[in-house]
Amino acid sequence: MLQIFLHFSQECICASPTFAPYAIPLFMEKLSSDLTESKAASLECFLACVGSYSPAQLEPHLKDVWNSCKQEIMGIRATRPSAQVQHSD
């Protein structure tokens, strides 16, 4: 049942490039999830939408998508330095 829901949700999100400004940030959010299934579903949906969205809609997000994928592949998480480190000047 969940797979059916995911399939039809993906078809709806990919159906129109109008969804791009909302869908791509959602994909990025899901890529930072701790759940492997969530990350896989997000990437799968993103890849399905690439054919529907224009390069102009995709381009502003490609660097973030690449960085998220690279971090996932390398097994690293982006972390921010503590406030102490940031203000050590």
Question: Cα separation of 20 and 14, whole Å?
Answer: 8
pTM (predicted TM-score): 0.69
What does the DSSP assignment read for the chain? -HHHHHHHHHHHHHS-GGGHHHHHHHHHHHHT-S-HHHHHHHHHHHHHHHTTS-HHHHHHHHHHHHHHHHHHHHT----PPPHHHHT--
Question: In which residue are the tokens 């399905």 written?
Answer: 48
pLDDT score recorded for residue 77: 58
Largest CA distance in the chain: 55
Q: What is the pLDDT along the chain (89 residues), one digit of tens a residue?
A: 778 887 888 899 999 888 888 998 888 888 888 888 888 888 889 999 998 899 999 999 889 888 888 888 887 655 444 454 444 44
